[in-house]
Structure 1
Amino acid sequence: MTAFTRAPRRTTTTLRHGAAASLLTAGALLLTACGGDDMSGMDHGGDSAAPSATAEAGAGAGATTGTGDFNDADVTFAQLMIPHHEQALEMARLADGRAADAGIEDLATRIARAQDPEIRTMKGWLESWEQPTAAPSLPGTHHGGHGGGDGMMSDTDMEELEGLKGTAFDKAFAEMMIEHHNGAIRMARDERKKGENAAARKLAGEIVTGQTAEVKHLRDILDRL
């Protein structure tokens, strides 16, 4: 700049105008480059963020409503667990007026409170999947007799339980419900391994956790009866 101030005034002015023009041109190029980089970054950010948020929202909804992919294991789990829960509710209702132990009465109330809404949930899944509520009868399957792998009680077992009162009822209820719960736990573990639907697998995990704890509680009650 010192050399320029010593030059004739016309040359200095010309150089100054030339320098200013160069600076303006350089500044415009710089702003264009920065603006292009910013816009490019925002566009990529928007493209990558939106699908991620949508996927998370979809997964969250599917985990509670049963929407999304499902397979035969999910359908079978719901079809078999519905009558299984229904029998547990029937057993729980028998405790009213028959049970003598407060622990049995309390557990029966908790079973009814938990499993009744789960039945409605699973029926909703099957309806949304356009699948029948009742499972088809297959050769070699067991669903409805004492001693089976699914833990279901036979009609004779239920009649026997209905005819008991007091401590006799408490013991029979605890023994039968332990077997019943263990059957549900096996079914739920199978769903966890083979199922595809997020909601069904989540419920199966809750059944395993909740009913395992209840089995332990029932064993404790049997020990003190």
Structure 2
Amino acid sequence: MRTGAHGTAGGKLAAVVVSGLVAVWVTACGTGAAVPGPAQDPGAAGPASAAPAAAAPSDAPDGPEGGEHNVVDFYFAQRMLPHHAQAVRMAELAPDRASDDAVADLAEEIGETLTAEAAGLEEWLTERGLEQPPPEAFADGHPSHSGMPGMLNALQMNLLADTSGEDFDETFLTFMIAHHEGSVAMAAPVLENGLDPAARDIATAITQRQEHEIAAMRDLLDD
């Protein structure tokens, strides 16, 4: 990407990036606990990190292979869905705004992969009788996003939508890197303390793919 992308978005970008990023969700529940209900958010650091509206029921069935799941697995799946959905919306802005074909191509790849992963997360919740996130959780700037690192607020999403050309390229890459880093952080508790093998597989795949894409996006920023 050309380095002249520090134009109109440059000054606004630095302030908005800093203000929009939230604390990483890293606190996890004990490894042996089955899914309780109603549950306290395992990542809650204070009042801002409220538990999702739909808590996992205490009698939620085990997975199709008989593996137990716990509250760490549940919150990962339920929160990653709106997290992925926002990144898809970000990627959908690229075709009409990006000046660099490499940025547009990477955005398309990200959008397709995230859509497929979201379908897998929805299936994981459904198969275990666990609730999907409520529709309002998918709105930009929803209060539940305070516990999801890397999520953009409404101001940041508007900034991204209002830029084009090189300004868009830099803003998109900067925001998406932070968004991907948030996904990796949200997957970490599952790899450490989750119980369901399928949830661990999803978390592993998200971590490996997004770390690879983070490296690719940093390369584009440096070009």
Structure with higher RCO (Cα < 8 A, 6+ apart): 2
Does the 8 A contact of 2:98 with 2:164 survive in 1? yes
Distance across 2 between alignment mates of 1:92 and 1:66? 35
Does the 8 A contact of 1:99 with 1:169 survive in 2? yes
**Percent of aligned positions with the same letter in both sequences?**
36
User: Residue 83 of structure 1 corresponds to which residue in structure 2?
Assistant: 82
CA drift of 1:143 comes to 4.6
User: Residue 144 of structure 1 corresponds to which residue in structure 2?
Assistant: 145
Does the 8 A contact of 2:79 with 2:148 survive in 1? no
Q: Which has the higher helix share?
A: 1
Coordinate RMSD, CA, aligned? 2.3
CA drift of 1:67 comes to 6.0
- Give the TM-score normalised by structure 1: 0.64
Residues 124-203 of structure 1 mapped to structure 2, 5 A cutoff: 124-134=123-133, 143-144=144-145, 150-203=149-202
Does the 8 A contact of 2:91 with 2:107 survive in 1? yes
CA drift of 1:150 comes to 1.1
The 3-state SS of whatever aligns with 1:96 is helix
Task: For structure 2, list consecutive stretches of 5 or more residues without a partner in the other structure.
Answer: 1-62, 138-142
Residues 30-109 of structure 1 mapped to structure 2, 5 A cutoff: 68-109=67-108
Point out the more displaced range, 95-104 or 84-93. Answer: 95-104
Deviation by residue 1:179-204 (Cα, 9 ceiling, x = unmatched): 00000001111211111111110111
Count of residues in correspondence between the two structures: 156
Distance across 1 between alignment mates of 2:196 and 2:157? 33
CA drift of 1:68 comes to 2.8
The 3-state SS of whatever aligns with 1:217 is helix
Moved over 4 A (4+): none
Task: For structure 1, list consecutive stretches of 5 or more residues without a partner in the other structure.
Answer: 1-61
Does the 8 A contact of 2:148 with 2:186 survive in 1? no
The 3-state SS of whatever aligns with 1:132 is coil
Residues 1:160 and 1:67: Cα distance change in structure 2 (over 3 Å) = farther
- Give the TM-score normalised by structure 2: 0.65
The 3-state SS of whatever aligns with 2:95 is coil
Residues 1:143 and 1:216: Cα distance change in structure 2 (over 3 Å) = farther
Distance across 2 between alignment mates of 1:179 and 1:85? 13
Residues 1:157 and 1:66: Cα distance change in structure 2 (over 3 Å) = farther
